[in-house]
Amino acid sequence: MTVTNAMSPLTAVELLAARKGTFTGAIVPKVGRVVGGVLYGNDVVHVNLITGIVLSRLYQRSLDMLDSLNPTAIVMELDRLGLTAGDGSPVRLTDVCRAVADLRASFEKSLAGTNKSTCEHVFEPLVVDGQVVRGAKVYRCVAGTGRKCHCRSCTGDPKAPVHGQINISGLILGETVIIPAPNGPKPATRSRADVVAKNYIRRKLPVGRYVTYRLDPTDFYCLRAGGAAALAATAGGITFDPDQIAATATLLAG
């Protein structure tokens, strides 16, 4: 009998079998975001990613690439793409330099182990038969611990996370929308110029490809790992950038 801290033993076993650096595919609905009482961005997608990433390597590689960026070139790129602050003002060199400094500080804290997530206390590693599965974590209800709980049972919110659900994380290689969100994509947020610059720069770095998907045991999802995931991706017409795959190999455990 499988012993695990997750609600879905079959999914837990599949992820355990995948182990380190495995090509993983999932058909899953995105969480989306509620704006004005309307849910946007909850597309059903077929996503493929590499799990088992060593986060310290991811942050170090991103830090190295950050230091090689040309801030002036970034300003020109943003201007060419028409990306501005929420109030319509342009992104200036000082904004880009501030964004670079903020990202550098964040990566350095992550490498030092001092950059803690505000929701870290509600997750624990996925454990299957005494073995920790890297790249997967399990959501826990924290009612009765002295902290406010935001799980579905405690809030009644049908979009809130479920106690025992698995979240998988890795470097995204490809994603295709199977069913578009009924209300369309998430509306653009009105951000400061330095935040616009930071988000743009982050997308250019390895950390910008690090994503997390929720495997809600009360909702539809399909998970495949290894060869089965690769065959499903090919059948689904998903193509991949060979350079991205090669770069990903340096971020995996030995």
The answer to whether position 3 is within a domain reads no
Only one residue has tokens 């190999």, namely 249
Nearest to 32 by CA among 236, 190, 214, 166: 214
* 194 falls within a domain: yes
Nearest to 135 by CA among 34, 17, 50, 240: 50
Does residue 153 fall inside a structural domain? yes
- Using alpha carbons, select from 17, 12, 23 the residue that is nearest to residue 53: 23
**Residue 90 token pair:** 């342009």
Q: pLDDT for 160-173, tens place per residue?
A: 999 999 999 988 98
Structure confidence by residue, pLDDT tens digits, 96-145: 999 999 999 999 999 998 877 767 889 999 999 998 888 889 999 999 88
Over range 216-227, report the average pLDDT: 76
Rounded Cα distance between 72 and 55, Å, is: 29
Residue 64 lies in a domain: yes
The whole-angstrom separation of Cα 110 and Cα 80 is: 32
- What is the predicted pLDDT for the residue at 195? 96
Supply the pLDDT for residue 201: 97
pLDDT digits (tens, 9 = 90+) for 3-45: 999 998 888 887 877 656 577 888 899 988 888 889 999 999 9
Q: What is the pLDDT of residue 241?
A: 59
Residue type, 126: L
Q: Indicate whether 182 belongs to any domain.
A: yes
Predicted local confidence at residue 17, as pLDDT:
72
Look at residue 199 and tell me if it is in a domain: yes
- Write the pLDDT tens digit of every residue in 45-62: 998 888 878 889 999 999
Model confidence band, residue 254 (pLDDT cutoffs 50, 70, 90): very low
- The answer to whether position 193 is within a domain reads yes
Q: Compare 95 and 53 and report the one with higher pLDDT.
A: 95
4 lies in some domain:
no
Reported as a pLDDT band with limits 50, 70 and 90, residue 243 is: low
Q: In total, how many domains does the chain have?
A: 1
CA–CA separation, 219 and 205 (whole Å): 32
Q: Does residue 237 surpass a pLDDT of 90?
A: no
Let me know: does 157 contact 32? Beta carbons within 8 Å. no
Range of the domain at 120: 9-249
Lowest mean pLDDT among 88-92, 168-172, 243-247: 243-247
| Residue 212 identity | T
